[in-house]
Structures are given as structure tokens and as C-alpha cells.
Amino acid sequence: MSVLVNLALGLLFGLGLVLSGMSDPAKVLNFLDLAGSFDPSLAFVMGGAVLVAFIGFRLTLRRERPVLAPRFQLPTRRDIDARLILGPALFGIGWGLGGFCPGPAFTALGLGASGTLVFVPAMLAGMWAARALAERRA
Amino acid sequence: MTGFTSTIFPLTDFTPVASFLGGALIGLSAVLLLLVEGRIAGISGIASRLLPPYREGGFAGRLAFIAGLIAAPFVAGAVTGAPVVQTVSSNLLLMLAAGLLVGFGAVWGGGCTSGHGVCGMARLSPRSFVATGVFMTAGFLTVFLVRHVIGG
């Protein structure tokens, strides 16, 4: 049951990325190009997603527990540390170079562009390296 | 989505309605994941936990979510009858560096565009506001340098 739900929600998320245009790196890079071929569309993606999530999360968290799990698992940290600056800074540089963040990169995978086929394994390697480094420091 | 090509970078059409509706679907997916599974829809968190070490359960569910993402352009293409357009750089060294930075940075910072940018901001998390501000700024600066300083 959980597997089917996850498949459907991944598909819904991916359809949102495709419909919004966020799955196209050209559109992402033009959004980030304030001084050139600026395309503000992605601000509307963010707006639509945050608006629905803002309302939906509040309604959902009135429940005692999720439908298929014993409890809600929400991040609780509120501290601002160096990792919270360095990580997103590196992420933003990579995002600006390739035009992909993780979700759109997966929606691009099956279309098989050579750049995607290099990007996705490199992204997974970077994720693995960050987890391994965090484990060693912990 | 791509209308025509400029001399250097492909121009893209401004699509406020489709982008807002697509964003709403992303938000709806995040809400339903919280409602059903009690989890936050962070793509980097879901993807990175498909890699070792395995400390928690839920592997099959996470794999299914990623499979849904991968299937999306094919389902969209089948429904609309139009192929999904994506313009991906063929500079493989650039894409290698970009992938490493995105993957490392997302996990090191505890989230990406979805976990911090959508879910965290919707939860009014101070950490997510900081993270989103930093990666947006880094993205703007990177594209400015690549297109207007180095490439210009």
C-alpha cells in the first residue's frame, strides 16, 4: 500500500515539475538570469507550491497521526549552523551551473540527454559523500 | 516550452498559469505525503537514503517515489500528446561538477528546493528560510558569472 502511495505521489510531484516547466533546465537558468533572459515563471511555481503546502500542512497536522504511519516525522532543529550556509551555497552553485535540482534531474533521467546521464550519478555520488563525511564527523 | 533560440541561450516563455498550477501539484504531493506517511517531501532526503548506510526502513517506498518522478514525463507526454521539452547542457564536465555540487550541497545543508524551499518555507522554518535565501543567491550569482562575466 505504502509503495503504491509513494509511486502515485512521486508521479504527482513529477507531473507538477513538468507542467510548471521546472523540469526544463533552460527555464531554471533563465529564472536565475536576472541580468539577461529573465523568465520569472519559477517564482509562480514556488508560490503555488508553498501556498498549497502552507494550508495543507496546517490542516493535516490537526490529525493525531498520519493515515499509514504511527507518527508525524517533522524536522525540529531551529539553529543556524555553518553547514546550513555551506551546503545551500554549494547546492546553489551547482544549480546555477546545470539548471537541475534533484527532483527535475530525476524527471529528466528517462529522456536520456547525455548531460542528465552524467549529472544524476554525480549527484548521487555527492549525496553519498556528504552522508559519509557527516558520519565521520559525528 | 522553449519558443525560440537566442544566439547564446534558449529563451523560454513566461508561463505564470501553468507554473502556478504545476507548483500547486507539487504542494499537493507534499501535503498528501505528510498526510499519509507523515513525512516531509524532500527529494534529496528521499534520494540520498536510497544509498548506504541503511539505518531506517521505508526503502521500497522511497524507491517508488523516485520511480514516480522518473515516469512523470512519459505520463505527461502520453496524456497531452506532446513530448516534454528539456534543454540540458551537453558540456559533460560542467554537468559532472554541477551534479557533485547539487548532491553534496543538498545533503550537507539538510535539504534542497523541495525540502527547504517548499516544505520548510510552508512550515515557516527559520532554517529553511536561511537555506533557501542562500541557494537562491548562490544560483543568481553563478548564472550571472557564467553568462555575463565569463561568457559575456
The 10s digit of each residue's pLDDT in A24-57 is: 999 999 999 999 999 999 999 999 999 999 999 9
Please state the domain extents for chain A: 2-137
Q: What is the distance between the alpha carbons of residues A19 and B34, in angstroms, rounded to a whole number?
A: 22
Q: What is the distance between the alpha carbons of residues A83 and A91, in angstroms, rounded to a whole number?
A: 12
- DSSP class of residue B5 equals B
What is residue B147's three-state secondary structure? helix
Contacts of residue B60 in chain A, CB cutoff 8 Å?
A: 2-3, 6
**Of A106, A72, A73, A131, the residue nearest B108 (C-alpha):** A131
Domain residue limits at B114? 16-150
Length of chain B: 152
**How confident is residue B152, by pLDDT bands cut at 50, 70 and 90?**
low
**How confident is residue A137, by pLDDT bands cut at 50, 70 and 90?**
confident
B2: pLDDT strictly greater than 80:
no
Number of domains in chain B: 1
**How confident is residue A59, by pLDDT bands cut at 50, 70 and 90?**
very high
The 10s digit of each residue's pLDDT in B86-120 is: 999 999 999 999 999 999 999 999 999 999 999 99
- Kindly state whether residue B89 falls inside one of the protein's structural domains: yes
- Kindly state whether residue B46 falls inside one of the protein's structural domains: yes
| Preferred mutation among A123, A128, A133, A137 to probe B, highest tally of B CBs within 10 A | A123
**Do A126 and B26 count as a contact with CB atoms less than 8 A apart?**
no
The 10s digit of each residue's pLDDT in B4-61 is: 434 468 899 999 999 999 999 999 999 999 999 999 989 999 999 999 888 888 899 9
C-alpha distance from residue B151 to each of A35, B26, B54, B145 (Å) = 13, 34, 43, 8
- Kindly state whether residue B59 falls inside one of the protein's structural domains: yes
**Do B69 and A47 count as a contact with CB atoms less than 8 A apart?**
no
